[in-house]
Amino acid sequence: MPDKIRLIYSKDYAVDIGNHVFPTAKYTLIKERLQGRSDFKNRIEFVKPAPATDEDILAVHRKEYLNKLKNGKLSKEEIFKLELPYSRELVKASLLCCGGTMAAVDIALSDRLGIHIGGGFHHAFPDHGEGFCVLNDIAVAIRSAMRRRLVKKALVVDCDLHHGNGTAAIFLEDPSVFTFSIHQENNYPFFKPKSDLDIGLRDRASDKEYLASLYEHVPKIISDFKPELLMYVAGADPYKEDQIGGLAMTKEGLVKRDEFIYSQAINYSIPIAVVMAGGYAFSEEDTVDIHYNTIVTGLKLFYGKS
Ligand SMILES: [Zn+2]
């Protein structure tokens, strides 16, 4: 492993969206905590992403949608569906975020682990955004790596509390990408396009149920599908005190989840790119804790003690 640990981060992710359940300040808080108290603070280098180009975006999204975003021409209905106030800053952050996940994939392919302190906007579809997700950085990054012939097959392990509807729809007929989503069944989005494997958990499912399901399915998917890249969508919202989630996981359970996914990547020698995705705990501190734990757990497993 290289001496320096490159983590992707941009201060521009902290878009002002007013009084909103989505804590856009969390990215900066995670970064500050990594700088302040992690064992790895002297080795971490924060890398600023470049915005994704039109070519990158258009490998996933429709030109008409991208034009509307760039020119401030979304309709009221489209903005309503997005559930975020439209601004130029929001569009800029979304383009940067796609570039950030692309960079995390590149780092994963060279260093085995690539972490983006951002991303995971799995509700964005080719022709529209929804559920706080403007552009699907996961799909943009995977398509970019494939266009550059860096990988032929990718696996998305989507552990956000919500179903990965946009990602599922984008890759519905694409055999080169296996989409796996484990989520709360009775929650947004109510229409769930089929992933290659969907696990819809009951309300208030516990650590035990969640982890048993991961242990049952993920190794089998990997050994059958043999991906060359694992994209881990590490949502913090399965946490029991999430404002919009309805699962009942503890922080310890979420660390076990992270450890398991990382260990799969290690055991099968698959480069792993990690994106943060959702997290809306009543206490912002808890959301930051969970994302921080995901990052530090990965660093410990891949880099050992510093
Ligand atoms: Zn979510």
pLDDT of residue 109: 98
Euclidean distance between the first and final Cα of the chain, in Å?
A: 12
Taking only the tens place, the pLDDT of each residue in 68-102 is 999 999 999 999 999 999 999 999 999 999 999 99
For residue 289, pLDDT over 80 is answered with yes
Query: For residue 67, what pLDDT is reported?
Result: 98
Is-contact 257 159, C-beta < 8 A? yes
DSSP 236: S
Percent of the chain with pLDDT over 90: 96
Q: How far is the CA of 161 from the centre of ligand 1 (A)?
A: 5
The per-residue pLDDT for 253 is: 98
This prediction's pTM: 0.98
Distance 219 CA to ligand 1 centre (A): 23
* pLDDT number for residue 2: 77
Structure tokens of 266?
Answer: 């290690």
pLDDT tens column, 199-248: 999 999 999 999 999 999 999 999 999 999 999 999 999 999 999 999 99
Size of the chain in residues: 306
For 77, 113, 157, 210, 263, the CA distances from 255, given in Å and listed in that order, are 38, 17, 15, 12, 12
Judged against a pLDDT cut of 80, whether residue 25 lies above it is answered with yes
Give residue 82's pLDDT.
Answer: 95
Report the separation in Å between the CA atom of 43 and the middle of ligand 1, taken as the mean of its atom positions.
31
**245 vs 13: CA distance, rounded Å:** 23
**Strand order across the beta sheet in which 44-47 lies:** 44-47, 5-8, 113-116, 272-275, 229-233, 154-158, 177-184, 197-201
Tell me, in angstroms, the distance from the centre of ligand 1 to residue 278's CA. Answer: 4
Residues 296, 254: contact at Cβ < 8 Å?
no
Nearest to 121 by CA among 165, 86, 187: 165
Residues, CB within 5 angstroms of ligand 1 (ion): 160-162, 235, 237, 278
271 in Cβ contact with 229 (< 8 Å): yes
For 174-184, what is the mean pLDDT?
A: 98
41-71 pLDDT, tens digit each: 899 999 999 999 999 999 999 999 999 999 9
Average pLDDT, the chain: 97
Residue whose pair of structure tokens reads 């579809």 in the numeric block: 125
CA of 155 from ligand 1 middle (Å) equals: 19
Residue 292 and residue 30 in contact, taking contact as beta carbons nearer than 8 Å = yes
